[in-house]
Amino acid sequence: MDEAQWRTAQGILFVDQYELTMAQLYFRMGLQGTKVRFDHFFRRYPDYGSHQAGYCISAGLEWLVEWMEGARFRREDLELLRSQRGSEGGPVFGEDFLGWLGREGSFGGLSLWAVPEGRVVHPRTPLTVVEGPLALAQLLETSLLNHLNFQTLIATKASRVKESARGGLLLEFGLRRAHHRGANAATRAALIGGADFTSNVGMSHLLGRPPKGTHAHSMVQAFLALGMGELEAFRAFAEVYPDDCLLLVDTIDSLESGVPNAIRVFEELRRKGHRPVGIRLDSGDLAYLAIQASRMLDAAGFGEARIVLSNDLDELLIWQVLTQIEQEASRYGVDADRLVARLVYGVGTRLVTSEGQASLGGVYKLAAVEREGGLVPVLKISDSPEKTADPGCKRLWRLYDRRGFATADLVALEEERPDQAEAIVLRHPSDGSRTRSVRREELSQVEPLLVPVRGGGRRLCDFPPVDELGARRRADLERLDPGVRRLVNPHVYHVSLSQRLWELKQELIERERGGDVRRSIPPAGPS
Amino acid sequence: MDEAQWRTAQGILFVDQYELTMAQLYFRMGLQGTKVRFDHFFRRYPDYGSHQAGYCISAGLEWLVEWMEGARFRREDLELLRSQRGSEGGPVFGEDFLGWLGREGSFGGLSLWAVPEGRVVHPRTPLTVVEGPLALAQLLETSLLNHLNFQTLIATKASRVKESARGGLLLEFGLRRAHHRGANAATRAALIGGADFTSNVGMSHLLGRPPKGTHAHSMVQAFLALGMGELEAFRAFAEVYPDDCLLLVDTIDSLESGVPNAIRVFEELRRKGHRPVGIRLDSGDLAYLAIQASRMLDAAGFGEARIVLSNDLDELLIWQVLTQIEQEASRYGVDADRLVARLVYGVGTRLVTSEGQASLGGVYKLAAVEREGGLVPVLKISDSPEKTADPGCKRLWRLYDRRGFATADLVALEEERPDQAEAIVLRHPSDGSRTRSVRREELSQVEPLLVPVRGGGRRLCDFPPVDELGARRRADLERLDPGVRRLVNPHVYHVSLSQRLWELKQELIERERGGDVRRSIPPAGPS
Q: pTM of the prediction?
A: 0.96
The answer to the question of residue A296 being in a domain is yes
The CA distance from B475 to the nearest CA of chain A, in Å, is: 26
Nearest to A92 by CA among B77, B292, B266, B211: B211
- Residues in A closer than 8 angstroms to B90, CB to CB, are 243
The answer to the question of residue A179 being in a domain is yes
Return d(Cα B226, Cα B235) in angstroms, integer. 15
Pairing of strands B394-401, B374-377: unpaired
Give the CATH number for residue A236: 3.20.20.70
Minimum CA–CA partner of A362 in chain B: B177
The CA distance from A303 to the nearest CA of chain B, in Å, is: 18
CB A419 within 8 A of CB A448: yes
CA distances from B168 to A264, B120, B159, B194, B340 (A): 63, 20, 12, 10, 8
What are residue A113's DSSP bridge partners?
A: A129, A452
User: Residue B178: how many CA atoms within 13 Å on its side-chain side?
Assistant: 33
Minimum CA–CA partner of A246 in chain B: B18
CB count, 10 Å around CB of A369? 24
Nearest to A253 by CA among A285, A291, A299: A285
Minimum CA–CA partner of B516 in chain A: A257
The CA distance from B152 to the nearest CA of chain A, in Å, is: 11
Minimum CA–CA partner of A85 in chain B: B210
Q: What's the pLDDT score for residue B522?
A: 40
* Region for B59 from its dihedrals, namely left if φ exceeds 0, alpha if ψ lies in -120 to 50, beta otherwise: beta
The whole-angstrom distance between residue B96's C-alpha and the CA centroid of its chain comes to 40
Closest in B83, B177, B218 to A145, CB measured: B177
* Window B:377-436, CB contacts with A under 8 Å: 377-378, 380-383
Q: Which residues contact B136 (CB under 8 A, 6 or more apart)?
A: B23, B32, B104, B105, B106, B107, B109, B110
Return d(Cα A136, Cα B409) in angstroms, integer. 53
How large is the greatest C-alpha to C-alpha distance in chain B, in angstroms? 88
Low-confidence ranges of chain B (pLDDT < 70): 383, 515-527
The answer to the question of residue A493 being in a domain is no
Q: What's the pLDDT score for residue A379?
A: 84
Q: What's the pLDDT score for residue A47?
A: 97
Q: What's the pLDDT score for residue A84?
A: 98
The answer to the question of residue A184 being in a domain is yes
CB A302 within 8 A of CB A269: no
- Residues in A closer than 8 angstroms to B210, CB to CB, are 84-85
The answer, for B213 touching chain A at a CB cutoff of 8 Å, is yes
Polymer length in residues for chain B? 527
Helix axes B230-240, B259-271, angle to 10 degrees: 40
Q: What's the pLDDT score for residue B517?
A: 38
- Residues in A closer than 8 angstroms to B147, CB to CB, are 180
- Residues in A closer than 8 angstroms to B6, CB to CB, are 10
Q: What's the pLDDT score for residue A521?
A: 39
Q: Is A120 helix (H, G, I), strand (E, B) or coil?
A: strand
Say if the Cβ atoms of A252 and B141 lie within 8 Å: no
The answer to the question of residue A213 being in a domain is yes
Q: Is B140 helix (H, G, I), strand (E, B) or coil?
A: coil
In chain A, DSSP finds a helix count (H) and a strand count (E) of: 19, 21
Return d(Cα A81, Cα B343) in angstroms, integer. 27
Return d(Cα B354, Cα B158) in angstroms, integer. 9
Q: Write out the H or E segment, with its range, that includes residue B66.
A: helix B61-70
Low-confidence ranges of chain A (pLDDT < 50): 516-527
Return d(Cα B412, Cα A334) in angstroms, integer. 48
The answer to the question of residue A393 being in a domain is no
- Residues in A closer than 8 angstroms to B463, CB to CB, are none
Say if the Cβ atoms of A227 and B6 lie within 8 Å: no
What's phi and psi for A242, nearest 5 deg?
Answer: -65, -30
Polymer length in residues for chain A? 527
CA distances from B20 to A203, B73, B78, B97 (A): 15, 12, 12, 10
CB A447 within 8 A of CB A406: no
Return d(Cα B272, Cα B137) in angstroms, integer. 64
Return d(Cα B18, Cα B515) in angstroms, integer. 28
CB A196 within 8 A of CB A158: no
Return d(Cα A87, Cα B197) in angstroms, integer. 14
The answer, for B368 touching chain A at a CB cutoff of 8 Å, is yes
Burial A178-202 (b: 16+ CB within 10 A, else e): bbbbbbbbbbbbbbbbbbbbbbbbb
Q: Is A429 helix (H, G, I), strand (E, B) or coil?
A: coil
Return d(Cα B213, Cα B346) in angstroms, integer. 10
What are residue B412's DSSP bridge partners?
A: B395
The answer to the question of residue A244 being in a domain is yes
* Eight-state DSSP code of residue A175: T
Pairing of strands B169-172, B343-347: parallel
Q: What's the pLDDT score for residue B526?
A: 39
The answer to the question of residue A260 being in a domain is yes
The CA distance from A86 to the nearest CA of chain B, in Å, is: 6
- Structural domain boundaries, residue A274: 162-352
Say if the Cβ atoms of B25 and A219 lie within 8 Å: yes
Q: Which residues contact B55 (CB under 8 A, 6 or more apart)?
A: B45, B120, B121, B122, B156, B159, B480, B484, B485, B490, B493
What's phi and psi for A238, nearest 5 deg?
Answer: -65, -35
Return d(Cα B9, Cα B143) in angstroms, integer. 12
The CA distance from A378 to the nearest CA of chain B, in Å, is: 6
* Window A:499-518, CB contacts with B under 8 Å: 517-518
Q: Give me the long-range contacts of A431-435 (CB less than 8 A, separation at least 24).
A: A431/A385, A432/A506
Nearest to A453 by CA among A62, A192, A138, A123: A62
Return d(Cα B406, Cα A220) in angstroms, integer. 38
Domains identified in chain A, total number: 1
What are residue A306's DSSP bridge partners?
A: A278
Return d(Cα B80, Cα A204) in angstroms, integer. 10
- Residues in A closer than 8 angstroms to B254, CB to CB, are 523
* Region for A468 from its dihedrals, namely left if φ exceeds 0, alpha if ψ lies in -120 to 50, beta otherwise: alpha
Q: Write out the H or E segment, with its range, that includes residue B37.
A: strand B35-41
* Window B:249-268, CB contacts with A under 8 Å: 251-257, 261
Q: Which residues contact A236 (CB under 8 A, 6 or more apart)?
A: A223, B25, B28, B29
Nearest to A204 by CA among A220, A217, A223, A191: A191
Q: Is A262 helix (H, G, I), strand (E, B) or coil?
A: helix
Q: Give me the long-range contacts of A462-466 (CB less than 8 A, separation at least 24).
A: A463/A61, A463/A62, A463/A65, A463/A117, A465/A207, A465/A208, A466/A188, A466/A191, A466/A192, A466/A207, A466/A208, A466/A209
CB B469 within 8 A of CB B401: no
What are residue B484's DSSP bridge partners?
A: none
- Residues in A closer than 8 angstroms to B142, CB to CB, are 175-176
CB A520 within 8 A of CB A391: no
